[in-house]
Structure 1
């Protein structure tokens, strides 16, 4: 099944999401009474305008479905020009909404059940669609010879990257110009990824640099130091910053999955060690609860929110012209 590639990964956006997930809460949270609306990240307002984060889940789903339908229409036309048959896939075949699932790192009941949401997560508990996905092109592709099938998929999504094009872990830099009919169609519908454009690449690099230095922001070193002292007293030392605690769980989880046997082409042929997963899940909850206790003790959420606001407002003042141009370019697309 071929699906739409994600936007180019941005360290800045990821860092912003991680920070805000630890700073925002739900009704009944302990450790701060700041109104949720007042916790909005100033910089995220610009990024939301670019990537659609300011839309409701329903609006996002509707926009995705409309764009996907247009992409599939263009793919079918392109494949026909290449001499192949292609039946467009519907958006419902490739999109499952998780809008009703909450990430609640400040809710004690949620943390007691999921920890950080690494090993066990409510996002993995979404109801599976009743109808199993069926590729509308499967029968047609099966009717082709082996060489014709290879030509079909190269026309559809481009040639398979050579080994020298692959980064560690098997990833590679996406280039729509070499991604076949799908790449061309997605580019036509979605437009250029502004973060990779010559005009805005320096701005996104500056945002990345801003969040790379997050731990050295004025006030953050002191705040993390208080959190570290609390964690050490609770028997969970070894983490230099609050984010390190959560990252340690994901690093161990990655290690478990890296131990899964794979075939020569990298396809998993086994299952992760369930006993190791269960043990990690137990440690995750224990660590996350201690983390939550210490965040409440040092008022981590509200203090880090205020630090973030001050740093981002200064960044916006220094880059306002570029940010306004970015939003204007996104609106044109």
Structure 2
């Protein structure tokens, strides 16, 4: 449940009210709580140091657990696994959009990502390779827990995570990080309320009116059929997904077909940007969203503060 909510929280960062221009540094009222839940209120240096320390502790516990179950295990070295191209993402800048569109097909730094051989190697690879097929199965079951059954899997391939059935990795993660308050039964009602809030946010009167104005502008620009601003960007990703579904992961889509999508993507994104500018979309959207979130926080202050306290206690 939490990952879906977090994705929505990140979308609504921006203007915090008034007539000021939106800022990427502003966090929405609900988003501030999720930052606190997961330590996002720390600086990037503090987060990196915390991650490294937690990873070291976690891997040592995993090694202890695997040894107890009769396997060898060398702790994995710490790696953030995050690539930073150093290029600022500027979806409101016309020059940026004219080059990258929504960043669906092509995006800054794509050609600079590290090669596979530059990634951290698994120090346990040789040991696992020396095991028989049945021993390898037992190794990974001890490490990650049994594979979820069909009954446990949802239609989209996801399943409910439970650290108690996630092997040594799940146990070690729980030992280091404690209970995730967003997954606790105690806070299930408020998490459901948050999900419902975001699912219905598009129907807020101010946002619905804004989307109608934006859609009218797009219709006049030759792009009819979009009910909301997010539909435009999603249409490009749906087209890309369709190409991938027609090809195997090994071959991937035809590059020329992807180039054609990119051309249409840029044209659509530029029209979208023009209509956002014409309707003052971003500022108006953020003001309406933040106002609604402020009311939500006021209505659920007790539960949210309790979750925040639980998260802080788990990290201490």
What is the TM-score normalised by the length of structure 1?
0.86
| Aligned pairs (5 A) from 1:111-190 | 111-122=97-108, 124-128=110-114, 131-190=118-177
Deviation at 1:306, TM superposition (A): 1.1
> Would the alpha carbon gap of residues 251 and 37 (structure 1) be closer, same or farther in structure 2, given more than 3 Å must change?
closer
Q: Which runs of 5+ in 1 are unaligned?
A: 1-7, 25-31, 262-267
Q: What is the alpha-carbon distance in structure 1 between the residues aligned to residue 298 and residue 33 of structure 2?
A: 13
| Aligned pairs (5 A) from 1:1-333 | 9-20=2-13, 23=14, 34=21, 36=23, 39-92=26-79, 95-98=81-84, 100-122=86-108, 124-128=110-114, 131-261=118-248, 268-333=249-314
Q: What is the alpha-carbon distance in structure 1 between the residues aligned to residue 86 and residue 119 of structure 2?
A: 22
Q: What is the alpha-carbon distance in structure 1 between the residues aligned to residue 196 and residue 232 of structure 2?
A: 22
Whether the 8 Å CA contact 2:55–2:78 is kept in 1: the answer is: yes
Deviation at 1:56, TM superposition (A): 2.3
Whether the 8 Å CA contact 2:98–2:270 is kept in 1: the answer is: yes
Deviation at 1:137, TM superposition (A): 0.6
Deviation beyond 4 Å, 4+ runs, structure 1? none
Q: What is the alpha-carbon distance in structure 1 between the residues aligned to residue 187 and residue 108 of structure 2?
A: 36
Q: What is the alpha-carbon distance in structure 1 between the residues aligned to residue 47 and residue 104 of structure 2?
A: 25
**Which stretch shows the higher mean deviation, 123-132 or 57-66?**
123-132
Cα RMSD for the two superposed structures: 2.2
SS, match of residue 12 in structure 2 = helix
Deviation at 1:254, TM superposition (A): 1.8
Deviation at 1:319, TM superposition (A): 0.6
SS, match of residue 270 in structure 1 = coil
Q: What is the alpha-carbon distance in structure 1 between the residues aligned to residue 177 and residue 67 of structure 2?
A: 22
Deviation at 1:55, TM superposition (A): 2.1
Alignment deviations for residues 107-156 of structure 1 (CA, whole Å, 9 cap, x no partner): 22221222112222236445416734322011111222221111111111
> Would the alpha carbon gap of residues 173 and 252 (structure 1) be closer, same or farther in structure 2, given more than 3 Å must change?
farther
Deviation at 1:39, TM superposition (A): 4.6
Deviation at 1:169, TM superposition (A): 4.2
> Would the alpha carbon gap of residues 270 and 169 (structure 1) be closer, same or farther in structure 2, given more than 3 Å must change?
farther
Q: What is the alpha-carbon distance in structure 1 between the residues aligned to residue 303 and residue 119 of structure 2?
A: 46
Alignment deviations for residues 15-74 of structure 1 (CA, whole Å, 9 cap, x no partner): 232233xx56xxxxxxx8526389531221111111222222222222211111111010
Whether the 8 Å CA contact 1:57–1:99 is kept in 2: the answer is: no
Deviation at 1:76, TM superposition (A): 0.2
Deviation at 1:316, TM superposition (A): 1.1
Q: What is the alpha-carbon distance in structure 2 between the residues aligned to residue 247 and residue 132 of structure 1?
A: 31
Deviation at 1:226, TM superposition (A): 0.7
Deviation at 1:188, TM superposition (A): 1.4
SS, match of residue 65 in structure 1 = helix
Deviation at 1:102, TM superposition (A): 3.2
Q: Which runs of 5+ in 2 are unaligned?
A: none
